[in-house]
Structure 1
Amino acid sequence: MTQTQDETRTRTFGWSDPAQNAALLGNRSGLELLQAMSRGEVPAPPIMHLMDIEKFEVVEGSVTVGVRPQEFHYNPLGTVHGGVISTLLDTAAACSVHSTLPAGVGYTSLDLNVKFLRAVTLASGMITATGSVLQRGRRTALAEARMTDSTGRLVAHATSSCMLFDLP
């Protein structure tokens, strides 16, 4: 990704074909796929480039993502847009569920309930969202994610329900 912060403020980035990752879903467990992604062995999905995610850590049942807020994340009020925060929380929570799934099982978010606790700006430093699975059944899973700033202050919290399904 390239970014300039001069008067014209531009941003350019690229990504790999997302079908490459989708093709791997039937061959690897969620944990194996996400860990390969974190090591750079499998291309990151386009959303990670769009959001400029630079931290991606995976253990079974928990995923952590981190971003340094940039001006392109801002809303008209001069703070990071709630949609950016929600996307990071959803990624951490849902990928935590993914990390518990066997090969051939997929998921999708059913809902996301977010509580915004403080504004996020450039001064917040790295914001980190850590997800964890609270409960997993045969067809649904419940996960949560907590987002902190660089000083460890909680800035947002979310819960998410995911639907589990067999891949074709």
Structure 2
Amino acid sequence: MTQTQPFRTESRTFSWTSPGQADLAALLELDGLAQLEAMAEGTVPPPPIMDTLGITGFRPEAGRVVVEMPAEEFHYNPLGGVHGGVISTLLDTAAACAVHTTLAPGELYTSVDLTVKFLRPVTVESGLLTCEGTVIQRGRRTALAQSQLADERGRLVAHATSTCMIFPAVA
């Protein structure tokens, strides 16, 4: 007969603003950079995924975005490292938001693909993760972006490229 071992349990509580509270029509009157700057300044609510993951820093500028998040235990996979999906989400956020900064008023975008290369393990000892996304090329209908994720010591831990489709908002 096997005895079950008591496991230490942690908890985490967070809250977010419903995405429907932002006025999409008003946002679409701004260009993409102004939209993200409003989010960074707190005049527009951030998307819930930022609170879910524990993102602590978000700095947009034209063609570039920096996202910061401390590596935490609640990001772990069963083997004790930050889950690849969490890493991919950071890479996707930085790359796609870099494209977002290039949008004209009335334009939208969505990710078409994301190619990720994991270069080294990420754990809580990795500390503050910094992900920089930059636009490589912006066309009328698509944009190519890249993102690089570094640990607190500045070591590159993952890299990604992403294609985004750009299209007009439908009224």
Show the 5 A alignment for 1:89-104: 89-104=91-106
Partners of 2:97 and 2:23 in 1: CA distance: 14
TM norm structure 1: 0.94
Partners of 2:64 and 2:88 in 1: CA distance: 17
Partners of 1:28 and 1:121 in 2: CA distance: 38
1:128 maps to 130
Task: Report the alpha carbon displacement of residue 22 of structure 1 after superposing the two structures with TM.
Answer: 5.9
CA RMSD in angstroms, aligned pairs only: 1.2
1:149 maps to 151
Partner SS for 1:12: coil
Show the 5 A alignment for 1:29-108: 29-108=31-110
Partners of 1:70 and 1:150 in 2: CA distance: 13
The answer (yes or no) to whether the contact 1:21–1:45 under 8 Å persists in 2 is no
Partners of 1:69 and 1:86 in 2: CA distance: 13
Partners of 2:72 and 2:55 in 1: CA distance: 11
Equivalent of 1:113, from 112, 115, 118? 115
Partner SS for 1:94: helix
Deviant stretches of 4+, over 6 Å? none
Amino acid in structure 1 at the alignment position of 2:115: N
The alignment-based identity, stated in percent, is 57
Partners of 2:27 and 2:169 in 1: CA distance: 8
The size of the alignment, in residue pairs, is 163
2:12 maps to 11
Amino acid in structure 1 at the alignment position of 2:16: W
TM norm structure 2: 0.92
Partners of 2:62 and 2:103 in 1: CA distance: 9
Amino acid in structure 2 at the alignment position of 1:122: V
The superposition leaves residues 50-92 of structure 1 with CA deviations (integer Å, 9 ceiling, x where unpaired) of: 0100010010100110110111100001000000000000000
Partners of 1:10 and 1:86 in 2: CA distance: 24
Partners of 2:82 and 2:127 in 1: CA distance: 12
1:3 maps to none
Structure 2 unmatched runs, 5+: 1-6
Task: Report the alpha carbon displacement of residue 103 of structure 1 after superposing the two structures with TM.
Answer: 1.2
2:3 maps to none
Structure 1 unmatched runs, 5+: 1-5
